[in-house]
Structure 1
Amino acid sequence: MCIGIPMRVVAGNEFAAQCERHGKTTTISLMLVGPQPPGTHILTHLGSAIRVLEAEEARAIDDALASLAEAVEGRE
């Protein structure tokens, strides 16, 4: 199963961006989506941005991932 992770662009250039999620910054390739300005939400997979997201969609994906983690840990 493949899971995309939503992240927010902090800074970057035409090829890569520093992206943040929950306080952790990671370098993400922008080769599939093109340059994105700071503040843009992207869906990432294996170090690459695969799609640009609206803020609401990024939040919904993040909430779903949090719920999945809680279920795996046996929390309600």
Structure 2
Amino acid sequence: MCIGVPFQVIHTDSHKAYCQRGAEQRWIDISLVGDVVPGDWLLVFLDAAREVLTEARAQQVEEAVSAIERVMCGQSVDLDDCFKDLVEREPELPDHLKPLLK
């Protein structure tokens, strides 16, 4: 399974960006997302950016990934706290799937 994680752009060079997630820094291929600037957030899979994120969305993804890491390590976790965007709301289908319900 491949899980995307958020990285923040530090600087760019052609089709790659030097990015940071916590203490980790690495080069990320940005060919699929186009131009980015320092401070942008990227959703990264296997050292390749797949999407440019807002800071708020990057935080949501980071909280979800952190919850998964804690569960995998056997640590107790309050899932309602980790997945705040899913608590107290009905799940919604993406727009492209809604017509299939009719």
Alignment TM-score, normalising by the size of structure 2: 0.71
Which residue is equivalent to 2:18?
18
Which residue is equivalent to 2:53?
53
| Partner AA of 2:5 in structure 1 | I
1:33-65 deviation per Cα after TM superposition (whole angstroms, max 9, x unaligned): 012000000001111110000101100111111
Distance (whole Å) between structure 2 residues aligned to residue 49 and residue 60 of structure 1: 17
Q: Does 1:28 align with 2:28?
A: yes
Q: Larger helix proportion, structure 1 or 2?
A: 2
RCO higher in structure (CA 8 A, sep ≥6): 1
Q: Does the residue aligned with 2:52 lie in a helix, a strand or coil?
A: strand
Residue pair 1:11, 1:19 contacting (<8 A) in 2 also = yes
**Any gaps of 5 or more consecutive residues in structure 2?**
77-102
**Any gaps of 5 or more consecutive residues in structure 1?**
none
Which residue is equivalent to 1:63?
63
Q: Does the residue aligned with 1:61 lie in a helix, a strand or coil?
A: helix
Q: Larger strand proportion, structure 1 or 2?
A: 1
| Partner AA of 2:16 in structure 1 | A
Distance (whole Å) between structure 2 residues aligned to residue 37 and residue 4 of structure 1: 20
Distance (whole Å) between structure 1 residues aligned to residue 47 and residue 31 of structure 2: 11
Q: CA deviation at 1:13?
A: 2.6
Aligned length: 76
Runs of 4 or more consecutive aligned structure 1 residues displaced over 6 Å after TM superposition? none
